[in-house]
Amino acid sequence: MSLKERIIAESQRLGIDKIGFASAEPFTELEASLREQKARGYTSGFEHPVIEERIYPEKTFEQPKTIISIALAYPTKARETVPKDEKRGMFARASWGIDYHDILRDRLNRLIDFIQTEAKTRQESENWRFAPQVDTGELLDVSVAQRAGLGFIGRNGLLITEEFGSFVYLGEIITNIEFEVDDPIPFGCGDCMRCINGCPTKALLGDGRMNAQRCLSYQTQTKGMMPDEYRKKMRNVIYGCDICQLVCPYNQGKDVHFHEEMEPEIDTVYPKLKPMLQLSNKEFNKQFGHLAGSWRGKKPLQRNAIIALANLGDRSALSEIFQVAKDDVRPVLRGTAAWAIGRLGKKEAEKWLASLQELKEQEQDEAALLEIEKALEMLE
């Protein structure tokens, strides 16, 4: 077998679900799009900041020849039933199980170790170089994967594979080893616009790009006040968004369970919302620290939990929410809690108007004050 064939065989043994080999030639076809996105303010700020390094692999890796792209498929349905005991939030499926960055890095590093053992001489092994990347690296994972033949980039900007739809994690290895490359997969959405029509915030532009600032997944990861227009639309999802995936025809019936470390714990990925409001840092790290969705820390998830309680109409949470509005040291949480009281307190409007008026008199933060004013208007 050729080295490429041996790598493919080893990838299957390591539990890598798809693998492909792409040229490390510059991704010049992306330049105009990336610059336009940045100029229009459509980027999230989470991307690698230097556009040239996203386009030209040689900017960050000396003499790149090939990029090995891998995909791991993740589950879309929990094995257990979600209890109906009290109101719960939800993490998007890509944040189920152990943080996918750790899983992918493990597979990439093990694959590199294997390739090193396949060198014919010590000198060849010493000359071979590798740079593994997950989505925190310079390259666009979906563009590499599409060029490597793993799938095509759909209208929603996600890689869509034949076997697993878009429910895959992607990673890659840049190397100075030259391999025979695989054929790219052509666009396969045809005239379908389901993801575009299904996106509640109209974040998708229709050509595989998006206004990331309008994406609910982005909004759940911000640390400030969530703009009003997104609050009801996030429903009870406290991290991420799956809507453009769930409506996609390529994803219908897709649900694989290949990797035990990706399997969700119900109480973690469908957490009870009320207890989240008073979590200590230690409790937060114990319950959520292993998830990809914990990377922004406790505050965004607690803010989102308050919004979710309001969206679910959980009036039983009003006392807990009031405690946050009254005592929390973080203005974002105080303001969001006040807004939630405005949504939930209408049946006892006089009681909560008095409570909000009390909060207004002691509040010093302008953004939190604005939320209290909104809540008072809702109740008056």
pLDDT digits (tens, 9 = 90+) for 209-221: 999 999 999 999 9
Residue 83 is classified by DSSP as P
Bridge partners of 130?
A: 175
The active-site residue out of 17, 99, 135, 242 is 135
- Judge whether 99 counts as a catalytic residue: no
313-361 per-position pLDDT tens digit: 999 999 999 999 999 999 999 999 999 999 999 999 999 999 999 999 9
- Within 10 Å of residue 6's Cβ, how many Cβ atoms? 13
Burial 130-150 (b: 16+ CB within 10 A, else e): bbbbbbebbbbbbbbbbbbbb
* pTM metric for this prediction: 0.96
What percent of the chain lies above the pLDDT cut of 90?
Answer: 100
Please report the pLDDT score of residue 232 as a whole number: 98
Residue 189: the pLDDT is: 98
Supply the angle between the helices 298-311 and 331-344 in degrees, to the nearest 10.
10
The neighbouring-strand residues paired with 171 are: 70
The angle that helices 349-362 and 318-327 make with each other, rounded to 10 degrees, is: 20
305 band by pLDDT with thresholds 50, 70 and 90: very high
How far apart CA 306 and CA 338 sit, in angstroms, is 10
CA 313/CA 321 separation, integer angstroms = 13
Work out the average pLDDT over 90-106. 97
Nearest CA to 7 among 166, 185, 175? 175
Enumerate helices (H) and strands (E) in the chain, giving the number of each. 18, 8
- On the question of pLDDT at 136 being above 90, the answer is no
Answer whether 70's CB lies under 8 Å from 16's CB: yes
- DSSP run (H or E) holding 237: strand 237-239
95 phi and psi angles, rounded to 5 deg: -110, 15
298: region left, alpha or beta (phi > 0 left; psi from -120 to 50 alpha): alpha
Half-sphere exposure of 141 (CA within 13 A, CB side): 23
